Amino acid sequence: MNIASQAAQIGLDWDTRTGAVTVPIYQTATFRHPGLGQSTGYDYSRSGNPTRQALEDGIAKLDGGCRGFAYASGMAAITSLLFLFSHGDHIIVTEDLYGGTYRLFEKIFNQYGLEFTYVDTSDTSAVTSAIQPNTKALFVESLTNPLLKVADISALSALCREKGLLCIVDNTFLTPYLLRPLDLGADITVYSGTKYLAGHNDTVCGLVVVKDPELAEKVYFHQNGAGAVLGPQDSWLAIRGIKTLSVRLDRQQENAQTIAEWLTRHPLVRKVYYPGLPGHPGHELLKAQGSGFGAMISFEVADPSLVEPLLLRTGLISFAESLGGVETLITFPEVQTHADIEPEKREKLGINKVLLRLSVGIENVDDLIADLDQAFAIEEAA
């Protein structure tokens, strides 16, 4: 079955007693036992809740894994995965990754003895060179945040199998609709479900999908033990969002392609990062391994003086953090999403004083371009 149909059907058959088309919200902390030593399959909502399980089963099916897990946030999901490792273990990580993930690794888990090396994961040879005797895993963003580099998930997964490493892919920017890392050999996918999956900027959640049943049991142990689970109301919101994932992303990608092409022609834009552009270094790779290019655009303006006007003078486009919702958002990574990365590292990576990130929504693309154009025009007139 096509993934768009699978997404629309999440939770449809959950309540067979009433035939409810939408999965009910089981807003309960605990469940009554039918007898001593007996269980309905649910005991306490931290360990399992029917609404959350409908979401977990649904995302596992979409990603082609054996089991899914839902958490209170994307960061909670990544935190729970780090419990798989021990003091002294080494993990190779995408170098231009989300600043919150960097903060989690460097300012929290570093103090517990986990070691991290940051490399350009669009370069498989660089990943190979970074492997050490104590390396246990690769954590890679399939499409990096914010420079939109494309990783060869198939090659990296093969390398991890050869070296006995876990391959963990943060697939937030692409979702299972556009890329299925588990089909390419990865062991685990992780998502900020807040973004494209939920899709409406109205809930915060994290999702994980695991391919191997034995590994899935370990992930469940930590999910239940640490307890940063997603509540039933937010689980329901995520299910509702996933149902429209395909139509939203189709429109968002179409808009992003048009806007990216328009930006490449603008005299005040010096560089555009979007994998849908034929000149993007990862264009052909993502075209081969995925089914789309996503709806994130990063671009450099000609001068730092242009940044604030673009952030504040757009009207339809909101100056706000986060991404993946139906509304178009613009952010300044250097001082917002990636502020926790040291300034010299940001500069080296290209997260600089002229880089802006655009999360393209579902609005009319002509209106979005007109909004950008008028913001640029004010500065041109000056």
Catalytic positions: 46, 98, 170, 195
Those residues whose C-beta lies under 8 Å from the C-beta of residue 326, and which sit 6 or more positions away, are: 199, 200, 201, 248, 361, 362
Rounded to 5°, the CA angle 305-335-309 comes to 30
Residue 382 tokens, joined: 């000056």
**Interatomic CA distance for residues 168 and 157, integer angstroms:** 9
Q: Which residues of 113-140 are buried (b: 16+ CB within 10 A; e: fewer)?
A: ebbeebbbbbebeebeebbeeebbbbbb
What is the DSSP-derived secondary structure letter of residue 141?
Answer: E
User: In 3D, which of 340, 351, 345 has the Cα closest to residue 104?
Assistant: 340
- The dihedrals phi and psi of 204, each to the nearest 5 degrees, come to -115, 125
Residues in the chain: 382
Sign of the dihedral through C-alpha 50, 51, 55, 58: positive
Residue 164 tokens, joined: 């006995």
**Interatomic CA distance for residues 106 and 252, integer angstroms:** 33
- The dihedrals phi and psi of 9, each to the nearest 5 degrees, come to -95, 0
Those residues whose C-beta lies under 8 Å from the C-beta of residue 21, and which sit 6 or more positions away, are: 12
**Interatomic CA distance for residues 112 and 168, integer angstroms:** 20
